[in-house]
Copies of this chain bind each other. A is one copy, B any other.
Amino acid sequence: MQPLHIAGKTFRSRLFLGTGKFGSPAEMAQAVQASGTELVTVALKRVDRETDTDALLAPLRTASLGLLPNTSGARNAREAVFAAQLAREALETNWVKLEIHPDPKYLLPDALETLKATEALAKLGFVVLPYIHADPVLCKQLEGAGTAAVMPLGSPIGSNKGLRTLDFLEIIIEQSQVPVIIDAGIGAPSDAAKAMEIGADAVLVNTAIAVSQDPAAMARAFALAVDAGRMAYEARLAAAHDHAQASSPLTSFLKD
């Protein structure tokens, strides 16, 4: 399979993981390892608190794992830029997952503030990966603003509803010059496989793994599904047909 490149960094795994909602840091660490991921998001809030920082971050401090701090909790561009700067100092990385969601119920992203923050952060030298609505026009504007990738949502965060925005993700993928990473809503390995089959460059999964009965096994399941979907994309799936296409010969062997 082809590797993925974002801002000069190469990824063999196209599965990114969120680290929230796990039962314990140990359970999280096992899932991260089982997934084979090379990039995990971390919420700055938790990093910020001295007490549990070590327990959370220690297992993530490995050579092969990139950290992607997110700005979750930021309600506008100003707060997000400030959060990104704090994260850069705390975690020594200029990568940032930009999340700006003023609405506490559905956690849906704010298009305007996200575009504004992307412009500001790109100018400040950040590698910006913004979480956004599956809005194809916005995606092109983010490209113009210097984003490193776009992260359109599949469905509301934590809903596990899968790719409800499919029609728009396909347009985004068709038009994008930067990697497209499907974020939010991916509730099962089949959703992750589907995202890769339509040509997404990567997926970010958190809730579906963290809250399953066996997070490490589920992480491994997602890793396989992402590879399956990517392989199928590279080997080109056939189109759906309206009529039956016989796999086996139609005319009776009895007549031959």
A90-126 residues with Cβ-Cβ distance < 8 A to B are 99, 101-112, 115
Query: B103 contacts A70, CB within 8 Å?
Result: no
The answer to whether A161 and B48 have CB atoms under 8 Å apart is no
**Of the residues B20, B104, B250, contact of A107 by C-beta under 8 Å:** B250
For A10, list chain B residues within 8 Å (CB): none
How far does the Cβ of A138 sit from chain B's closest Cβ, in whole Å? 6
How many monomers of this protein are in the complex?
4
> A residues touching B (Cβ–Cβ < 8 Å)?
18, 20-21, 41, 43-46, 48-49, 70, 72-75, 79, 82-83, 99, 101-112, 115, 133, 135-138, 140-141, 155-161, 164-168, 171, 187-191, 193-194, 197, 206-208, 210-215, 217-218, 220-225, 227-229, 231-232, 234-254, 256
CB-based contact A207/B45 at 8 Å:
no
Q: How close is A17's CB to chain B, nearest CB, in angstroms?
A: 10
